Amino acid sequence: MSVTFPPGFLWGTATAAYQIEGAPRENGRTPSIWDTFSHTPGKTENGDTGDIAVDHFHRRAEDVRMMADLGVNAYRFSVSWPRVQPTGRGPAVQRGLDFYRGLVDDLLAYGIEPVLTLYHWDLPQELESAGGWPERETAGRFAEYARIVGEALGDRVTRWTTLNEPWCSAFLGYASGVHAPGRTDPVAALRSAHHLNLGHGLAAQALRSVLPARGKVSVSLNPAAVRPLTRSPEDLDARRRIDALANRVFSGPMLKGAYPEDLFTDTARLTDWSFVQDGDLAAIRQPLDSLGINYYQPTVVSAAGHQDSGHQGGGQEGGESHGGHGASVHSPWPGAESVVFHQAPGELTEMGWSVDPTGLYELLLRYTREAPGVPLMVTENGAAYVDKPAADGTVHDPDRIHYLHGHISAVRRAMTEGADVRGYFLWSLLDNFEWAYGYGKRFGAVHVDYETQRRTPKSSARWYSRLAATGVLPEVPIG
């Protein structure tokens, strides 16, 4: 029996500015924290940077035509904050905004809906030098930036996302230090989490003050499908601790207007949370027109004592202690450093992440319960594999097709059980700069030869194109 999706379902692809654009100094752009971080020796694989990436800044028209050829009906991209507002303060650089005006116009000309993310981790370096996300002022600066972009593009862009994966910004950036800005201060990470929450709320308010009535505001979280290794009380408590830090630290304020009390208890030795001021929680809890869910693999945890089969203080995405984002002796889990992480069973992607669609199914049902009446979007899902062109130049990636088939099937299963999912965005459109992994991991449906910048759609791109055209899940090719 065929798996069919309803008419109007969004079939999209997704990218992030620093991972694809290049052109770091053109038209007034100044460094972001990722420019600084990637140029710091030892921070990325092979010292790779996003200086060129896949040169999307100069190849925008080609990339949009390629999307049109693939038949996707939506494209999720992010705006580079330092390209638009180089210091993080003051008026916009119109030449920077012009790039995004042109991108949006190109997309609309091909009938592709633009889905704009305001922040995908590229904080202007000048704001980081002034304290970054641990400082309250950054939330206010973010709201001003949101207003600028909303005023410039709100007449053409309907779907807006404030933040992408604030967990990574806060805990990989400020606790474990494996993402920009590379700081290792657990209190700074918790302060950052709150100010990212506050920035989301203030930006949502700013957008709604300038967008037409049709404008829709969302946020994209990367919630963890946390599973205890056993049903022992100790392992169940480990699950609770990680669930608080991975999920409820954001969903609590955004959806319910409150932080979970157990999070305060778990982190009491680090901070009294006095940086949460009167009125903050009301500002954070803004109505959402949709909620974005990013998912790659489940997280398996236990209490201390299982180090033989796990990794203490491990990360959210992967069984390794560095969480699949780069090694660090510093934990990204303030107040839960003793928790042990375990590799989930099953096949692994090139990232070492488990292939397990049931985690996505579980999360979609969970957030259906936690955000009743709020439509969901799968705003990132995909896998890295070793993709090499054949002698004839084609790129076959059957493992990625198998991965996508399983996860998209899980989306439909969740929908049949009540999840109101309105779209799916494949990560990623193009092979690109994979953060601390540099160019060593390929997530794209389109292969990029980094020497020539030649784009070659992989087998998975053609498979996904059939899905986008028909709304019917194609079978997995044999062989």
**Residue 329 is encoded by which pair of tokens?**
């002796």
Listing from the earlier edge strand, what are the strands of the sheet with 226-228?
Answer: 226-228, 299-302, 340-342, 310-312
Residue 392 CB partners (closer than 8 Å, separation 6+):
none
Phi, psi of 368 (to 5 degrees): -65, -40
Phi, psi of 341 (to 5 degrees): -105, 145
Q: Which of 128, 317, 380, 434 is catalytic?
A: 380
Known catalytic residue: 165? yes
Q: Residue 53: helix, strand or coil by DSSP?
A: coil
E-state strands within 21-157: 74-78, 113-119
Q: How far apart are CA 104 and CA 120, in angstroms?
A: 18
Q: How far apart are CA 336 and CA 244, in angstroms?
A: 10
**Residue 55 is encoded by which pair of tokens?**
């040169």
Q: Residue 219: helix, strand or coil by DSSP?
A: strand
Q: How far apart are CA 94 and CA 100, in angstroms?
A: 10
Number of C-alpha atoms within 13 angstroms, CB side, residue 152?
Answer: 26
Known catalytic residue: 380? yes
Neighbours of 195 (CB within 10 A): 28
In terms of Cα–Cα distance, which of 257, 169, 254 is closest to 217?
254
Helices and strands per DSSP (H, E), number in the chain: 17, 14
Q: Is the dihedral of CA 264, 227, 325, 36 positive or negative?
A: negative
Q: How far apart are CA 44 and CA 435, in angstroms?
A: 7
Q: Which of 21, 165, 317, 320 is catalytic?
A: 165
Q: How far apart are CA 131 and CA 121, in angstroms?
A: 15
CB-neighbour burial class of residue 61 (10 A; exposed 0-12, middle 13-18, buried 19+)? exposed
Residue type, 34: W
Q: How far apart are CA 259 and CA 238, in angstroms?
A: 18
User: Which residue(s) pair with 456 in the sheet?
Assistant: 447
User: Which residue(s) pair with 376 in the sheet?
Assistant: 291, 421
Q: How far apart are CA 186 and CA 169, in angstroms?
A: 13
Number of C-alpha atoms within 13 angstroms, CB side, residue 188?
Answer: 19
268-302 b/e (C-beta count within 10 Å ≥ 16 → b): eeebeeebbeeebbebbbbebebbbbbbbbbbbbb
**Catalytic residue ranges:** 165, 380
